[in-house]
Amino acid sequence: MPSLRMLPTRQRRARTELFDPKTFLASAGIGRTVNSCRPKGAIFSQGERADAVFYIQEGRVRLSVLSKHGKEATIGLLGPGDFLGEGCLASTQPIRLATATAITDCSILKITKKEMMRTLHEQHQLSDLFVAYLIERHNHTQADLVDQLFNSSEKRLARALLILSRFGKDDKPETVIPQISQETLAEMVGTTRSRVNFFMNKFRKLGFIKYNGGLQVNSSLLGVVLHE
């Protein structure tokens, strides 16, 4: 199949207009495969060759890193609509710097680096979507850093729970998956499990969260984050 650069301008414009990034990210195709992953299944591991980008269609994924001394830390929990392993697109990252593990049953689209690079160059709809995602992820990372530097562990936990419940993205609170342990929350917040347990009990007594077949986060928890 000829590349878009080799096609006449009219054909190139028509093919570009027919491209739908949502369809591209929802289905298999050339250089793209959809894989199912069970809980605790590895999507990729730290130190492996970085040769593909992943897109979460369904489910939740945990990103973690392992130090040289064997200490593991959770650096992110991602869900539907998030990309994984996008660092492989940079020439300076030939290997994975983190491990991605499924927390729930997942549907993951694997896109080869070659196919992702080609499509980003030829289809501005996808490149616009991808750039917007990277900027949002960058802003989120900066907010995490500020949170760690200036906020108390109680505020950091409240913010983490709101993010996990996808607060602001839906009209009603979402049930946080029950597989997220207090140990994982402690790693994300940068505190101890006992402190997480203390604050979780406090939030429950105040009505900010409740357990109902999972952990439901109420919008009132935002007051903990905003309180000076």
How many residues in total does the chain contain? 228
Per the rule left: phi > 0, alpha: psi between -120 and 50, beta: everything else, 82 is beta
Which residues in the chain are classed under CATH 1.10.10.10? 151-226
Amino acid at 158: A
Whole-Å CA distances, 170 to 38, 71, 123, 137, 211: 26, 36, 29, 19, 19
Report the b/e string of 87-102 with b at 16+ CB within 10 A: bbeeeeeeebebbbbb
Residue spans of the chain under pLDDT 50: 1, 14, 171
Q: What is the pLDDT of residue 164?
A: 83
d(Cα 103, Cα 59) in Å, to the nearest integer?
8
Q: Compute the half-sphere exposure of residue 85: CA atoms within 13 Å on the CB side of its CA.
A: 29
4-144 CATH choice from 2.60.40.60, 3.40.109.10, 2.60.120.10, 2.40.110.10: 2.60.120.10
Q: Which of 195, 119, 206 is nearest to 157 (CA)?
A: 195
Q: Which pTM value belongs to this model?
A: 0.81
Q: Is residue 157 within 8 Å of residue 185, measured between CB atoms?
A: yes
Q: What is the pLDDT of residue 1?
A: 47
d(Cα 87, Cα 84) in Å, to the nearest integer?
8
Q: How many CB atoms lie within 10 A of CB 153?
A: 17
Which residues in the chain are classed under CATH 2.60.120.10? 4-144
May I ask the CATH class of domain 151-226? mainly alpha
pLDDT in tens, 138-153: 998 999 889 888 899 9
Q: How many CB atoms lie within 10 A of CB 73?
A: 14
